[in-house]
Chains A and B, each alone.
Chain A
Amino acid sequence: MSTTLLLTNIDEPGLCTLPVYQRRGGYDSLRRALAMTPEEVLHELEASGLRGRGGAGFQMGKKVSFLPKGSMDKYLVCNADESEPGTFKDRELMQKTPHTLIEGIIIASYAAGANRSFIYIRGEYQLQADILDAALREAYDAGFVGENILGSGHSLSLVVHRGAGAYICGEETGLLDSLEGKRGNPRLKPPFPANQGLYQGPTLINNVETLSTVPTIIRMGGEGYAKLGVQTSTGTKLVSVSGHVQRPGNYEIELGIPAREIIYGLAGGPTPGRQIKCWFPGGSSSPVLTAADLDVPYDFDSLAKAGTMLGSGAIIVVDDSTPIINVALKVARFYRHESCGKCTPCREGTNWTVKMLERIDSGEATPMDIEIMASVQEHIIGNCLCVLGDAMAMPIGSMIAKFREEFEAHIAAARARRGLGADDAQAYSSALAAQGAAAVGAGPYPGGS
């Protein structure tokens, strides 16, 4: 059930140091890759079918092949700004086996022809950044990074850059702006980073887990790796399971197993007596599924077909002890706080959504507000500069669709607590509007009919 590639030996003491890592076969893949031509390495990556582990799930080999050929400065950036709520897989990889990532970066840079690389790590990961720094020093000293690596003629500089605590800097173009020393705002695409990325140069951006998988692919061969998993979702995936489960943590699974096996089999399911109300299959930005969806195969395409996404592979389980409004508020507040403010629908939409949810919670809303809230989510989705707005609108939209009755019940209960009856709810869209209408002596609020 649990096939380990990345997490093999993960708990071995000292694996974060070069000697132990090498004893376990570390940097053998690098030697093998450097003996191949970059095109051959690229071919292995493409054959592996490896899809990006950061959220978008784009084929990694294809992404590498998009980089223009030529002698210009090319960059490789590792996105280690792991900030998606519920996601903590990259942290474990960087903390326990940093050399796997460094080796993956060197191999990928060789395939892409990049000579400068960066690891952009979220500011809160201080311990992991320190460990990476130490590992990077070892790698430089051993000649794995630097000029003319192992006599191959390939040179690579690698810098660990610490972020300053903004979720948006995990968005690849926001990350690039931040890395360039600017305010971390997403850029308009196109141009895509593969053409004009860091310092306007061609840039390959990949997630920590994706790059950490590269040495394994070289070891197993692309086709060997592709035998794992299912057709369009090959290989293994780290899944961070959190929330109302008995054994939260990181699990490595072969893609395509039923979600039930992860949540109940590996993570132990919710505490006895509790039922699963909903679960996020891929971080807080994925639309929620319910207990009825537990038999969905856990892979990119099956989840997409179920109307959600695999995302970063972070499963958050919510049981029936938690009101759905609390979940929605938590999610919406997070994205409001993290919206960069550059584009209109996200900046204003996240703010508005939080305000509406707060009114629902405080008994100042009517059922009509649910309609407005659902329509606001629709107006955000697909209309923003980057996907941050969608990241709030999709789960909130799914919660409204799947738990409308609970929202309505919550509104009624909250209104009753405030002593507002159902009649008022029909005449006015909200208590606030009613107050406003009363203040100006107006009839029913025009928006409330």
Chain B
Amino acid sequence: MTHTVLVTGVSRHIGARVASVLAADPDVSRVIGVDTVPPPSLTRAGGVSLGRTEFVRVDLRSPDIAEVIAVADIDTVVHMSLVSAPSRGTGRAVMKEHNVIGTMQLLGACQRSATVRRVVVRSTTAVYGSSPRNPAVLTEDMEPHDGPVHGYAKDAAEVEGYVRGFARRRPDVAVSLLRFANFMGPGVDSPLTRYFTQPVLSTVFGFDPRLQFVHEDDAVEVFRRMAKEDHPGTFNVAGAGVLLLSQCARRAGRPSLPLFSPVFHALGDVVRRAGLVDYSPEQVRLMSHGRAVDSSRLESELGWKPKFTTGAAFDDFLRSRGLHPFGGAR
């Protein structure tokens, strides 16, 4: 069976990689990529060849997306257009609209479509929040003690609510909800990767959070498999194991500067206003209490394990940025 796949968020690194992998797949007859901005050119750093992907510039917040789905007879929708940090110019309100209203429009269009059979949505493990009262290792069924109240994590939690509503209304559509740990890899540009490339890493005094990463190659592979086969349900996606923040800093060869948490918060505000690194309140909570998830449901569903452990994904990222631990290469 051949597929016609719609991929949202193709102008961003992971989205572009997923679109190009699907475009290269003989079972996929057509890939339509949409985003609010055109993809970066190949000559620029971070440009990924989209292959035979057809790009359509659509603002997800507008109902135009319904037309794209109807005209192209889309059967699989891969929704990965979630913005994790406000861009410098626009700010939080635009980000929230993009994430939440955009998803509502897209799901509305899918609901009316007679051709859509499969919907894959990118979410994040940030929906579990970071709390000293959460279990150490989270599974998909757990209700977090302190749910997210800020930014990206709150958007993702709201998006998940709409996705679950959609799955109830259209039980004939296979809906996969993927909760990814932080992406890590040579091409990833996120608040967290920018954090680790700073000359000095500010940390919260007295806390050493557990962090988990998923390598971009593994993330792309998960999206590819989910787009090609039915795997309904909610799945955590993370590389095996955890790294402590102190361990990450040592591997990156970066000195860390422990700050008392009120100072960290205040500094976070200043730095955020200056538009440098994202120290959103959720990021600060992550930097205090950390988070780890259990991906075994995904592994048994797909019969496949992420190739990169959390540690290997981080090391690959460090290699690509030329970062070494103190005392030379590993």
Chain A bound to chain B = no
